[in-house]
Amino acid sequence: MKTAITEMFGIKYPIICGAMMWLCKPTLCAAISNAGGMGNLTAANYETEEGFRNAIRETRKLTDRPFMVGITILPSVRITAGHHQMYLRICAEEKVSGIEVSGDPVNKAVGPEYIDMLKKTGVKLFHKVGSVRHALHAQKAGYDGIYAAGIEEGGHPLDDDVTTMVLTPRIAGERMKQAWDDGDVDVAPMMVGQSIGLIQDVPTCKELLERMVKEAEETLREGKQAVLTSWLRWGICPQI
């Protein structure tokens, strides 16, 4: 499988684990990366510089594959602005593969110089967004990509109040229109099913109609059989 994400990170599958407080620690992170996706090491699990750096190094002992670091930038008593700066600096120093930010954008909340610092060290920066306007902001600020995450998830301030299946094609925007025009499905997600990778089966119209009729007949046959069986069980003899 080859996508922009597999190419960017040199991974087998374009499947990236989202940040999870309390859960995304070295063992789970490395297991996902070793399986061909990208694990997540969630920074807020670590309150000290030493603890966070050790967690990155511990993950590296468990996998030589790339993984993401999750940094949530939201007001918190426990994790302060100083922590956000420290997490980003250590990610650059340790040259992690990528960062998933949720909440406030790095350029506004921490400073645009931090995006420059990550770029210089080759760390890819992604933002988890819930709206088209936040995706455009991330693009303008110099992020390398976004995670489209709709109202059903809980890692960012919700904005457009739509689900991921609706949000993803909305973010694809103009590129999606181009994909409709020239039929190049690699340009952008063309419809909700494709945007989440569900449609691998593209039959001809003839095959599709024949399959629909066959499945309908099978369903009716099974239904009729089930009704007859229950009639027999209860000793009912209806007039047919």
Ligand X SMILES: Cc1cc2nc3c(=O)[nH]c(=O)nc-3n(C[C@H](O)[C@H](O)[C@H](O)COP(=O)(O)O)c2cc1C
Interface residue list for ligand X (CB under 6 A): 18-21, 23, 42, 44, 70, 72, 102, 128, 149, 153-155
CA 80 to the chain's CA centroid:
26
Phi, psi torsion values for 63, nearest 5 degrees: -150, 145
CB closer to ligand X, 79 vs 176? 79
- What's the token pair of residue 182? 């020239």
Nearest to 144 by CA among 16, 1, 28: 16
Is the Cβ of residue 102 or residue 131 nearer to ligand X in the bound state?
102
Q: Please report, for residues 43, 117, 159, the alpha-carbon distance to residue 90 in angstroms, rounded to integers and kept in the order given.
A: 10, 11, 30
Block residue for tokens 């995670």: 147
Radius of gyration of the chain (CA): 24
At closest approach, how far in Å is the CB of 221 from ligand X?
37
Closest CA to 195 of 203, 183, 205, 185: 185
CB of 31 vs ligand X, minimal distance in Å: 16
- Within 8 A by CB and 6+ apart from 193, the residues are 199
Residues facing 5 on adjacent strands: none
Instruction: Give min distance, CB of 6 to ligand X, in A.
Output: 18
- For ligand X, the closer CB: 165 or 187: 165
Question: With respect to ligand X, which residue has the nearer C-beta, 161 or 217?
Answer: 161
Of 44 and 91, the one with the shorter C-beta distance to ligand X is 44
Closest CA to 194 of 203, 181, 205, 185: 185
Q: Minimal distance in Å, beta carbon 162 to ligand X?
A: 14
**Least distance between ligand X and beta carbon 102 (Å):** 3
Minimum CB distance to ligand X smaller for 15 or for 117 = 15
Q: Which is nearer to ligand X, 76 or 229 (CB)?
A: 76
Tell me the angle at which helices 164-182 and 132-141 cross, rounded to the nearest 10 degrees.
Answer: 70
Least distance CB 21 / ligand X (angstroms): 4
- Give burial (CB, 10 Å; 0-12/13-18/19+) of 159: middle
Least separation, in Å, of the C-beta of 148 and ligand X? 10
